Structure 1
Amino acid sequence: MPVYARPLAALLLFLSTQVSAISFTSKRTKDIPYKAKTSADFNPEKNVLDVYRPNGKANRPAPVVVFFHGGNWNSGSKNIYWFIGRRLAKQGVVAVIPSYRLSPEVQVPAMADDCAQAILWVKNHIADFGGDPGRIYVMGHSAGGGLAALLAVQDTYFTKLGLAQNPVKGAILDDPAGINMYDYLKEMKYPSDRQYLIPFGNKPEGWRDVSPFYQVRSGGASGPAAPPTLLYVGGNTYPSIIDGAKSFHEKLLALGVKSQYTVLPGKKHVPMASQLFWKRNVIYRETLKLVNGTQAD
């Protein structure tokens, strides 16, 4: 498996020259702690989030999209992806972009715990920013896409926080990594794959616990197996991402979950994120349909 983190300096240099063109249409509130500062595991640099909200007064609370960044589970920050917050807010969505603790400080289960606590903060406080706590969606790229998928399908991250129901109403997964680390790490196909034992640990049962493919709830009388999901992969991205996303899509469909799988021809892994600078990108167009309830059946 290739390393998912790639230098973004050139991208950020370009985007930084464009910020003035879009910042006036939204308001950003930075570095809000989503975990109690007195918590033993609180990291003042990582357990914070930014909120982007549209300027102007809306007729009703806006849908909320929580975006989780990628970075190979050992790098990345909310600060890189401000353009996603701005673009979503410009289109009438309250966007939340958290950071979370990374490897080697913690392993993936603790990262997912951080992300769940960020969502809990959103549920409890987003109304103060014009967002609708009943319409919370998760979005992520690369490792962040895998975390978003895990939170969408695995309720236990929220039940242990005291929530009776999973608050995630849908997921938008952009070239998601780590969808099925259980089967991937059992194979150990490439010499570099041993690096993933740092964030995922050495125990196969742990790999399974954080693989969204194996954590989709079965559904039943209480509701569907998982919320609606939009999956996007680049035509020239890593084969492991394509295989994981496609198999996840097929499993969701088999369980009766509404899932859409889209391959974007010619796209590599990093451009799958950088394309989100452009507000008419297909991912935004279909995300808006999902969060506004206008997606076709």
Structure 2
Amino acid sequence: MKFSVSKQAPWPDRRPAAGWLPLAVSLLLAVVPAQAQQPAVPRDTSFTTYSAYVKARKQHPTISIARPPVPASIRSRTNVPYCRLPEGRELRLDVFYPKARRQRPYPAVLLVHGGGWRSGDKSQHHAMAQQLAARGFVTATAEYQLSQEAPYPAAVQNLKAALRWLRAHAPSYRLDTTRVAVWGFSAGGQLAALVGTTNGNSLYETGPCFRSHSSQVQAIVDVDGILAFIHPESGEGDDSKGLSAATQWLGSSKLARPELWQQASALSHLGPGTPPMLFINSGVARMHAGRDDARRQLTALGIYSEEHTFPEAPHPFPLFNPWFAPTLEYTVAFLRKVFEQ
């Protein structure tokens, strides 16, 4: 068999004509689906489960990352779009729900990750969401706009949209729209408390997504999230060595705009319509700033609350054994009590 080799001009003589590359890019973008054209957002990976583990095990060498087996009794759907923002950004969540289709619908829990409002990931609480689903809850872990992408109040507005999405899709998951809770850890706990104490607040009810549905919650679980930014117990807002995480998220220092920092504090929104609250805390006092004040106000209002503290635990305790299991049990017992399951 003979092979013929055609002679071609050297590479420099075969360069595309000027203007070819921009034209090709334009043609490519014209056929790329809209959801693939997500805006580029810098990814902060300073808070991950593993990095938190490496840090925490220096003081707690016997801990381990909580990775319980995925229960066989649940189903899941991941990376489900729950809201498309006006600029084209698509927000996503992961849903876990019981396989059994019982006659009475299941209560729901939206889980919110931490990471200083600028890091973290919705997958960090998959284990908690899966175990809650095995106990008879429809659960979802949602992403939200972090501070590099959009400052306060965008994250709160995102999470309200996620709650509306859950109610809009209630039939698909046998979800009880009258029994919905929000659960959050660290910055996610602060967000969960703020989401739950601002039921019906027009500041946070924005955007086009599922506006005909309610974002109200009937229970709040705050896991080591602060209740007040400006408070004697709070350590937030120290910008002496660079902008703090709270300053980056709120877009202004607490000295320049203290009223904004108060507005973003759940303690400022407690009232007769506040749902029951569960506080689960580490031994790091500044991570539950305002909690005791909140509990006193809730008691005066006749609203049920609980507090459970692990005095020896580091801040990221719900991600690790031995604290994962009791955190789960406290959550389940509280929700069953307030939802009268």
TM score, norm. by length of structure 2? 0.71
Evaluate the alpha carbon distance shift between residue 258 and residue 167 of structure 1 in structure 2; reply closer, same or farther with a 3 A threshold. same
C-alpha change, 1:77 and 1:164, in structure 2 (3 Å) is: closer
Report the AA paired with residue 33 of structure 1.
P
- The root-mean-square deviation of aligned C-alpha atoms, in Å, is 2.9
* CA drift at 1:133: 1.4
Following TM superposition, the consecutive aligned residue runs of length 4 or more in structure 1 with deviations greater than 3 angstroms are 157-166, 182-190, 275-278, 293-296
Q: What letter matches 1:96 in structure 2?
A: A
1:64-213 counterparts in 2 under 5 A?
64-155=108-199, 156=201, 160=206, 162=211, 167-177=216-226, 179-183=227-231, 188=237, 191-192=240-241, 194-195=243-244, 196-202=246-252, 203-213=257-267
Verify the 8 A CA contact 2:185 2:222 in the aligned structure 1: yes
Name the SS for the 1:22 alignment partner: coil
Structure 1 unmatched ranges of 5 or more:
220-224
Q: Is 2:336 aligned against 1:292?
A: yes
Aligned sequence identity (%): 23
* Equivalent-residue separation in structure 2 for 1:149 and 1:51 (angstroms): 21
Identify the residue that residue 271 of structure 1 maps to in structure 2: 317
Superposed displacement of residue 193, structure 1: 7.3
Per residue, is there more helix in 1 or in 2? Answer: 1
Deviations 1:25-76 (A, max 9, x none): 311101111113xx324433xx110110112232311111110000000011
SS of the aligned residue for 1:241 comes to helix
Q: How big is the shift at 1:198?
A: 1.2
Change (3 A) 1:120 1:201: same
In the TM superposition, residue 6 of structure 1 has moved relative to its aligned partner by 4.1
Could you report, residue by residue, the CA deviation over 1:106-145 in whole angstroms, capped at 9, with x for unpaired residues? 1121110001100111111133112211110000000000
Gaps of 5+ in 2: 1-45, 55-63
Query: Residues 67-123 of structure 1, C-alpha deviation per residue, up to 9 Å, x if partnerless?
Result: 000000001111222111111111111111101010121112111000110011111
User: Distance in 1 between the 2:275 and 2:87 partners?
Assistant: 30
C-alpha contact 1:88 1:95 (8 A) present in aligned 2? yes
Task: Indicate how the Cα distance of structure 1 residues 209 and 259 shifts in structure 2: closer, same or farther if over 3 A, else same.
Answer: same
Separation in structure 2 between the aligned mates of residue 163 and residue 263 of structure 1, nearest angstrom: 39
Classify 1:85/1:266 alpha carbon distance in 2 versus 1 (closer, same or farther; 3 Å).
Answer: same
For 2:183 and 2:307, the matched residues in 1 are separated by 15
CA distance in 1, matches of 2:94, 2:130: 11
Which among 34, 38, 50 is matched to residue 9 of structure 1?
50
Indicate the SS of the match to 1:97.
strand
Contact 2:279 2:306 in 1 (8 A): yes
Number of positions where the alignment pairs a residue of Structure 1 with one of Structure 2: 274
Name 1:214's counterpart in structure 2: 268
Deviation for aligned residue 1:291: 2.8
How many Å apart are 1:275 and its aligned residue? 4.5
Cα distance, 1:269 vs. partner? 0.5
CA distance in 1, matches of 2:115, 2:104: 35
Equivalent pair of 1:142/1:176 in contact (CA under 8 Å): yes
Q: Distance in 2 between matches of 1:141 and 1:192?
A: 25
Contact 1:69 1:143 in 2 (8 A): yes
**Distance in 2 between the 1:69 and 1:148 partners?**
10
Q: Spell out, residue by residue over 1:261-293, the C-alpha distance to the aligned partner (whole angstroms, 9 max, x if none).
A: 222221110113435985xx3332232233334
Separation (CA, whole Å) in 2 of partners of 1:43 and 1:129: 25
The residue correspondences of 1:7-86 to structure 2 (distance < 5 A) are 7-9=48-50, 18=67, 21-36=69-84, 39-44=85-90, 47-86=91-130
* Alignment-mate amino acid for residue 123 of structure 2: N
**CA displacement 1:2-32 (0-9 Å, x = unmatched):** xxx64422759x769x56x324231110111
Paired residue secondary structure (2:320): helix
The residue that corresponds to 1:249 in the other structure is 295
